[in-house]
Chain A
Amino acid sequence: MSVSPDAVLAVVAEESGLDLTALRPDVTFEQLDISSIDIASTLFAIEDKFGVIVDPDALNPASTISEFVALVIHRSAA
């Protein structure tokens, strides 16, 4: 299943409670105050919606939004 970047961003926004406009490509989870449970919730929803499983160990607070989107899209193509 191919996943679009916008679809991934929509999930991040919903699970973190942030506005889509805040999710600029170069900002990190840490800068956005996206907590570990926000990340867990986002990965749960990504798996639920798209069937894409992302290893949480591939992410850390310094991961950027663009890195996260690229990771999900990469995993969806795998």
Chain B
Amino acid sequence: MTRTVVATGFGCVSGLGIGVAETWRRAVAGEGAIRRLRRNPPAGHPARGIDGPAAWIEPGASREALAGEDLRRLGQLDLLSQHALAATAEAVDAAGLRDHPSLSSRTAIVLGCGSGGNATVDAAYERLYGRGLGKVHPQTIPSSMISAPASHMAMMLGIHGPTFVIASACASSAHALGEAMHMIRSGRVDVAIAGGAEACLNLGSWVGWKSLGVVADDTCRPFSKDRTGMVLGEGAAIVVLESEEHAFSRGAPILGELAGYGMSSDAADMTAPDQAGIEAAIHAAHADAGVALDAPALISTHGTGTRVNDPAEAAAMHAVYSDAIMRNIAIATKSAHGHLIGATAALEFIIGMKALAEGIAPPVLNHLGPDPECELPLALAATPIDLEVLVSNSFAFGGLNAVLVGRRRS
């Protein structure tokens, strides 16, 4: 018998703030986190440094959020792990799971990361190639490896069960939540601490993204006319998932159900989206959740704000939902928190589930007017809703698509 999987704790850190309450407050109020980021390169370095729109976390904020934890080496960790730990601590405390006996043996950690500890790698390479030094810090590898945050989460909580990182670029944390859901459904574990983390606002990553030509000069305007691209964010978002039975048995708060998960691979191109691949993932998620395509839903779009992605996603949604699309409400919260790459899908799932529970869709920001190629039932202002179902889209570079379906619990 397939087990029902529920969410019992949320935690997040992003440019919108530290913690779910502040994140949600700002998302609904339309207080976007995208603003000008300026960071100078190392002295004498020829690169121009960072200067452009981003949704960053105030330096040190994730570390301060962990002040009450017994984490002796916290200051040595890459921001990637600091963000992951801050979101994890909030989610596990919200779920009332701290020190619960299930953590040690019946719990998994499944974390999505698009890349590893970028700032640590930057610092090491700057020594080698910038200053011509021969040595780098001995913690360079353990701090920058992509699985480091999952290990630190396990150490903080005493988790000895399955613990690993899933990497699928911008869909990483959707895959993490979906695979964690299957681990609970199949009975491998009772609890999974799942989500994503990313810390990519360092010079090397910044220049890499800029070189790709998909980053906006002004801000993120999903599905809008005159949009110019995506805007990078950073942070982490963690969901505590449990079998419904386990959650009931300990009287845990039920925040909603993770009811379905569909994925597909375009097998076509490293950067261009593929409409058929997107449609396949949405279809699969609906089928897995047992949610009809004409059931009214809150759709948390991938909505990056790039010229090419938004029309492909809109066209796929029209093809999948046909006329029923107008029964839905579409949100695009990257306009508020930027693109958190490996963490973004989990943050969007949390915001989407909060929207179902609170009965309000947070506004799509920075919209300048409709684009005929991207016509969707967008919530351009905070909009009251009464919807049972969330469909949360994530479509990654390399054609790796993952769609989650959440269900409200009253």
Is A47 within 8 A of B72, CB to CB? no
**Of B75, B135, B138, the contact of A37 (CB 8 Å cutoff):** B138
Q: Which residues of chain B in 115-156 are interfacial with respect to chain A, using CB atoms and an 8 Å cutoff?
A: 135, 137-139, 142
Question: B135 to A41, Cβ gap below 8 A?
Answer: no
In this complex, which of A15, A18, A37, A45 has the most chain B Cβ atoms within 10 angstroms of its Cβ? A15
Main secondary structure of the interface of A (DSSP, over half): helix
Q: B410 in the interface, Cβ–Cβ < 8 Å?
A: no
What residues of B have a CB within 8 angstroms of the CB of A37 in the complex? Answer: 138-139, 142
Q: Check if B142 sits within 8 Å of A44, measured CB to CB.
A: no
Instruction: Enumerate chain B residues within 8 angstroms of A18, measured Cβ to Cβ.
Output: 72
Neighbouring A residues of B75 by C-beta, 8 Å: 14, 17
B72 closest partner in A (C-beta): A17
Partner of B74, one of A15, A17, A45: A17
**Whole-angstrom distance between the alpha carbons of A37 and B139 in the complex?**
8
- The reply to whether A41 and B138 contact each other, CB–CB distance below 8 Å, is yes
- For B139, the closest partner residue in chain A by CB is A41
A17 near B73 with CB under 8 A, answer: yes
Give min CB distance, B71 to chain A, whole Å. Answer: 8
A44, B72: Cβ atoms under 8 Å?
Answer: no
Q: Is B76 an interface residue (CB 8 A)?
A: yes
B138 and A47 form a contact (CB under 8 A): no
A17 to B66, CA, bound (A): 15
Given the complex, which residues of A lie within 8 Å of B138, measured CB to CB? 37, 40-41, 44
Encoded as 1 (CB less than 8 Å from any B CB) or 0, chain A from 1 to 44 comes to 00000000000001111100000000000000000010011001
Known contacts A17-B72, A17-B74, A18-B72; decide if A41 and B142 are in contact (CB<8 Å).
Answer: no
Query: Please, how many angstroms separate the alpha-carbon atoms of A40 and B136 in the complex?
Result: 11
| Distance of B156 from chain A, by nearest CB (Å) | 14
Interface residues on B, range: 10 to 19
| Contact yes or no, B76 A44, CB < 8 A | no
Which of chain A's residues have a CB closer than 8 A to the CB of B74?
17
A56 CB to closest chain B CB (Å) equals 11
Q: Known: A17-B76, A18-B72. Contact between A47 and B142, CB under 8 A? A: no
Does B139 contact A47, Cβ atoms closer than 8 Å? no
B241 to chain A, nearest CB (A): 32
C-alpha gap A15/B75 in the complex (Å): 9
Contacts of A15 in B (CB 8 A): 76
Q: How far is the CA of A39 from the CA of B290 in the complex (A)?
A: 56
CB closest chain-A residue, reference B75: A17
| Cα separation A37 to B135 with both chains bound (whole Å) | 15
CA distance A41 to B75 in the complex (A): 13
Contact assessment for A47 and B76 in the assembled complex, using a CB-CB cutoff below 8 Å: no
Q: Which residue of chain A is the closest to B74 with respect to CB atoms?
A: A17
Near A by CB (< 8 A), chain B positions 38-73 give: 72-73
What sequence of 0s and 1s flags, for each residue 36-71 of chain A, a beta carbon within 8 Å of any chain B beta carbon? Answer: 010011001101100000000000000000000000
Residues on A with beta carbons closer than 8 Å to the beta carbon of B139: 37, 41
A6 CB to closest chain B CB, in angstroms? Answer: 19
Within the assembled complex, what's the spacing in Å between the Cα atoms of A68 and B142? 25
Q: How far is the CA of A45 from the CA of B74 in the complex (A)?
A: 18
Shortest CB distance B122–A (Å): 17
Q: A45–B139 Cα gap in the complex (Å)?
A: 11
Q: Are A47 and B73 in touch, CB under 8 angstroms?
A: no
Q: Which residue of A lies closest to B127 (CB)?
A: A48
Report B-chain residues with C-beta under 8 Å of the C-beta of A45. 137
Indicate which residue in A14, A16, A44 contacts B135 across the interface (CB closer than 8 Å): A44
- Can you pick out 23 interface pairs between chain A and chain B where the beta carbons lie within 8 Å of each other? A14-B75, A15-B76, A16-B72, A17-B72, A17-B73, A17-B74, A17-B75, A17-B76, A18-B72, A37-B138, A37-B139, A37-B142, A40-B138, A41-B76, A41-B137, A41-B138, A41-B139, A44-B135, A44-B137, A44-B138, A45-B137, A47-B135, A48-B135
Which 5 pairs, one residue from A and one from B, show the smallest C-beta to C-beta distance? Answer: A17-B72, A40-B138, A17-B73, A41-B138, A44-B138
- B residues sitting closer than 8 Å to A (CB atoms) are 72-76, 135, 137-139, 142
Apart from A14-B75, A17-B75, A37-B138: 5 A-B pairs, beta carbons within 8 A: A18-B72, A37-B142, A44-B135, A44-B138, A48-B135
